[in-house]
Structure formats: structure tokens, C-alpha cells
Chains A and B, each alone.
Chain A
């Protein structure tokens, strides 16, 4: 191994063991487990609510906090799924399906322990694979020039949209709307003002955090109001005072955890595929590995383990395209990008240049996070029963207050609060009329960089012919076009096969 990389890995571990890093990781995990366990909140809203707070931190601590929230939520999702049969997110649907049998047998504590073990193991291997793949990818990305960076960004936005959106045209409109929102402020090259309409607040453009918080978090308040948030999940489960897994359990879940981790991690690296896809795929893979086992769908320990291993490995896998290439794999990763962008750091090709130690520090902090997840997860098994007794109405109303207060806290400006509220209404209307919101948020974040790289690239190359004939640029742009076409084909196939109600736009 390269000595420099080994040294940096040690530096990363040292950074992860700093007291403030441990504090933010622990805090992030606690918040993540909590928001993951609340249906309707989830990691994206939890992370978005923390965005205004991260602006006061170092970029490293901001990433530690948000990545830990994502890690904690991947485990927290399964708590209500097992205890009351209500999944914290779509990726925990199968957990609810298998978990019901454990609950009915009075083995909810055992199920939570299996899930915790799967989460910890999957995160451990996920973090190792993250550093193994992220650094080489980032090393390549750092050599890219303006035209290639432009093409990477185009590919990232198209990939996220093509695979998330059910209607490619609406996905495309969402991207354009995001880019349009990024226009106010200063011209990318000359710095002259545009679309400011004489408003001083707009001279630096719309602030990233209020827009992203509004689009991805505030809209959940309106979605909650639309769906109705009746307190239907208040049943209590009595857990035993002590719980541990038998030798047979350990033997039963070892292979499912490994297969789930591999499937979940691979799916996590693919932008837009999402944790639910990973969980379902891992479950099917395990069924193929163990065709003679008849306990699937009847409270299978292996099934439960592989589903949660996949969900957790997915959250580690999606960090690679997000941090190394600037291509977020999910809406929660868009929030992570927003946190870095608000601090002037853009994930992707420029990250290793602007903040060379960040990827290694994330590796170190996430390893610490795995250990803390094991400890906190075990200690929280019994108290987690009480999360279910929180009123969903109170949670939803408090989310509204927190978004407003957080947006104000950013610059102590009511203008930002108005931006967050309007973005929330826009985000809700987009979701209601089936436009994907996460790609719009991503396009808004990347818009200024996209324009800068396009125009600087054209200045550098001297014209479109030279710009487009660069091999990597051309390849990435062709890949982007193919991904868009693939999205259309997948959409048509899904429309033909679809017989029931579809999931809401992300």
C-alpha cells in the first residue's frame, strides 16, 4: 500500500477519534436513530433540519454529523417496523413484513438485536469498502478539467433523475427548475448581477440551505397534512429485561449479513436506486442462496438480517458517488452536498484539492460511528419502545417550527425564512404533481458550478468542437444521454407492469 495513503488513513482515524468528532458522531447517531424511528420524518428531513446548524461547524464536523444521522436512521427505520409494524421508510417495508412474526412470538427484542448486529456489521464493511473505492475514484476525479467536470455534473444530475423519476419529462423539468432557481446572483465569470430585481438579499443568490430545507423537509409537513397523521401506531411491546442471540442465531444470520451487505453496497453506489431496491434485491438473493429454507415471510432471522444489512450498506455505498464524484445517490445525500456547498466545498472532482483530508476523516469518523452504533443501539433497544408513543402530530408541527427557526438562524434573516416556506410549498406541489424534488434540489446546488465549468471549459478549449471532442467529456455526456433513454425505457416498462398505486416522487 502506498505509504502516503497509509499515513492518511491513520490521520483519518486520528481525526475520527478527536473528542469533537466523537461527540458529533454520537449526536448524529442518536438523532438518526430517533428520526429514523419516526415515520414521516426519516434521514432526509432529519439531516435537512440540521443543515442550518452545520453552517457553524467545520466542514469535517458537518459531514460527521450528517453522515452519522444517515447511518443511525438506517438502523432506526427498523425499530417501528418491528415494534409496531410501521416502517420508518420504504426500505424497512420488508423488515415490517418479517418483523411482525417476531413480535407476535414475543421475540421483538431478539429481532431488534438481529437488526442491530446486521446494521453494525454492514456499516463496518461498508466503511471499509467506502475508503477502498472512494479514494481511487477521487484520485481520478481530481485530474479532471473544466469540460470533464461539467460532464460529470451533467451525468450526475441525469443519472439521479433518470432513475428516480417516473416521468422523464417531469424529471427534466425538475432539473431545469432547479437550475432556474440558481440563476439569481452574480454572473459566473464577470460577477455582474442578474435576476436580483434590485433586492440586496438576492445579490449573492438564493441561499442553499433555506431552499434545500424547504424543498426536502418543509414539504413533509404538507405531505403529512395531506395523508393525515392520526396516531395509529401507539401500541406498546414489552421487551424482556435481557436479551442475547443463541449460537444457532449467529450461524443463521452470518451468510445473510454478508450477502445483504454486498448487494446493498452495490446498489448504494448506483445513483437513485435507493435503499428500498437494495433491501428487496438482497431478500430475493437470499431466497436464491437458500432455496430450501421455508421460513421466509414467517419471521426469518436470516431474512431480517439480510434486509437490514442491505439498507445499512446502502447508506455507506452512496457516500462514494456523493463525495468522490459529486453525484448523490439519494435525497439525503443531496442534503449532505448542500451542507458542504454552503461552506464553499463542492463534493466531487474539487474535493480532494480543496479538502484533501476530508475523505480519510470521514472514514475514521464512520469507523468510530460503527462502534458507537453498536453501543448506543444496544442501550437504546428498551427505550426505543417509547419512541412509538410520541404524537405524530406534535412531531409534524415541531418540524415546521424547526424549519422556520433553522432558516432564520442561518443569517438572522426573515428573507431566508420566506425562501424556505415558498420552497416548501413548491416542493409539496412538485411531489403532489409527480415531479421529482431531489433532482431539482441537486440541480439548484450544482447550477452555479455547472455554468462556471461550461463557460470556463469553453474559454479553455476555444469552442464547442474541442470541448465536446475530449474523450472523457464525450463519454460522460453520451453516458448521460444513454441513462436518460434508459430512464424512459424503464419508466415505460414500469408503467406497463404497474397495477397498483405507485410510490410518491422522491
Chain B
């Protein structure tokens, strides 16, 4: 049982904190990005100048339909937590906050033991790898990318790391260059 009634100010503050928690979460940022993409596609679609050619719909219909329906669907997804929070009587910040508090209280871990760091690391390696392909060529870029990926994924031992990186890169290079006759960069 609550010791005292929750004041209006505390309720507003609780709602604000809860909404901040929700809308700063990865899922909502991703949904927001999809919403912006849909709006951008809709804007481009509305500007299309495509002749009709006996077509009852015209060339603008499908792009506008897809982008506007996507925007509406993502919009519903984005608004649902807000509506739920508004109709809910309990604005106390629980769940997410408590979990993050617990996470903060845990013992410190090495960066690469955290899943998000590993995923971010692999994304950076992928992007750097493609950028390097055009600059330094296939073999050096691939050996470096293999080495970095293996390290991020938890493989240790410099000799094993180097040997695996070189051997796998050479095997893939040989297969694509000599068996599939692909001219690699």
C-alpha cells in the first residue's frame, strides 16, 4: 500500500522519465529511422513525374502507397507506447530503469565481453573492410578484417590468429580468382 498519494508533479515527472526511457531505446530509435525513411520515400514519390500510358493508377501510385502505408504503420508503432503510458495510472519508472540500475551495479566486464560492443565492433570491421578493399586490395584488406573479426569474436593467440587469417584469406582468394575467375580488387 502506498504511504501517500502521488502528487501531480511527481506523476508528470514519472511519465516524462518513462517516455524518455521508451523513446531513447534502440527499438524506438530504429522505428524512428524507418519513419523518416518512409517520409523521405513519400516525398520523393509525390514528386515523381511519370506519364500514365493508359494506366489507371499511374507510376506514382505504388511508391506513394508503399511509403505512406509504411509511414502510417511505423507511426502506429511509435505512438502505441505513448498512448499506453498516458492511459496507464502508474507512471512510476520501473522495469527498464530497474534493469539498467542492476546492470550498472554489476561488476565491470572487459569491453569485448559485452555483446553490444562485439556487434558494434563487427559492424565497424565490415565497413572498414569494404572501404579498405578499394584502397589496399583484396588480400591485405581481407587478412586485416579476418584478424580483427577473430579477435572481436573471442579468438586469442597471436600465432593462431595470424595463421588463420592468412590461410582463410588465401583460400578464398584462390577459389575466387582461379576457380571462379573473378578479378578481385
Contact = CB atoms under 8 A, between A and B. Distances in A.
Contacts of A192: 50-51, 59
Contacts of B146: 397-398, 401
A176 interface: yes
Contact of A397 (B44, B67, B74, B149): B149
Interface of B: 26-27, 30-31, 34, 37-38, 41, 44-45, 48, 50-51, 53-57, 59, 61-63, 66-67, 69-70, 73-74, 76-77, 115-116, 118-119, 121-123, 125-127, 129-130, 133-134, 138, 142, 145-146, 149-150, 152-155, 164, 168-169, 172, 176, 180, 182-185
Contacts of B129: 400, 404
Given A183-B66, A417-B133, A421-B127, A190 B53 contact: yes
Nearest to B164: A394
B44 A195 contact: yes
Interface in A403-434: 404-405, 408-409, 412, 414, 417-418, 421, 424-425, 428-429, 432-434
Nearest to A462: B56
Contacts of A188: 59, 62
Contacts of A229: 153-154
A53 B154 CA distance: 30
A418 to B, nearest CB: 6
A281 interface: no
Q: Which of B115, B142, B152, B153 has the most CB of A within 10 A?
A: B153
A393 B154 contact: yes
Contacts of B164: 391, 394
Nearest to A192: B50
Contacts of B66: 176, 179-180, 183
Contacts of B142: 401, 405
B168 A397 contact: yes
A291 B173 CA distance: 56
Interface string A178-222: 011001000111101011000000000000000000000010011
A454 B62 CA distance: 9
B73 A180 contact: no
A227 interface: yes
A173 interface: yes
Given A192-B50, A195-B63, A432-B26, 4 more contacts: A225-B118, A392-B153, A393-B154, A408-B185
Nearest to B122: A225
Q: Binding site of B, secondary structure by majority: helix, strand, loop or mixed? A: helix
Contacts of B51: 190, 192
A429 B27 CA distance: 9
Given A170-B77, A424-B126, A391 B155 contact: yes
Interface in A215-273: 218, 221-222, 224-230
Contacts of A486: none
B130 A418 contact: yes
Contacts of B185: 408, 414
B133 A404 contact: yes
Given A176-B66, A408-B182, A459-B55, A401 B168 contact: yes
A500 B119 CA distance: 25
A230 B153 CA distance: 8
B177 to A, nearest CB: 10
Contact of B74 (A173, A425, A455): A173
Interface string A366-389: 000000000000000000000000
Contacts of A190: 50-51, 53, 55, 59
Interface string A448-468: 000100110011001100000
A402 interface: yes
Given A194-B59, A463-B56, A176 B73 contact: yes
Nearest to B168: A398
Given A192-B51, A228-B118, A183 B59 contact: no
A10 interface: no
A462 B184 CA distance: 51
B63 A396 contact: no
A391 B31 CA distance: 36
B59 A187 contact: yes
A177 interface: yes
Contacts of A392: 153
A357 B48 CA distance: 41
B151 to A, nearest CB: 9
16 contacts: A56-B180, A172-B73, A173-B70, A173-B73, A173-B74, A176-B66, A188-B59, A225-B153, A391-B164, A394-B168, A397-B146, A405-B172, A408-B133, A432-B26, A455-B61, A458-B56
Contact of B130 (A170, A417, A434): A417
A416 B44 CA distance: 23
Given A189-B59, A230-B154, A401 B145 contact: yes
A169 interface: yes
B115 A189 contact: no
Contacts of A56: 180
Given A177-B70, A179-B66, A226 B119 contact: yes
Given A173-B77, A400-B149, A222 B123 contact: yes
Contacts of A433: 26-27, 30-31
A194 B73 contact: no
A58 to B, nearest CB: 16
A170 B30 CA distance: 12
Nearest to B74: A173
Nearest to B63: A183
A180 B38 contact: yes
Interface string A47-64: 000000100100000000
Given A195-B63, A401-B142, A454-B62, A396 B56 contact: no
Contacts of A418: 130
Interface string A20-64: 000000000000000000000000000000000100100000000
Contacts of B133: 404, 408, 414, 417
A222 B27 CA distance: 17
A452 to B, nearest CB: 10
Contacts of B154: 228-230, 393
B71 to A, nearest CB: 9
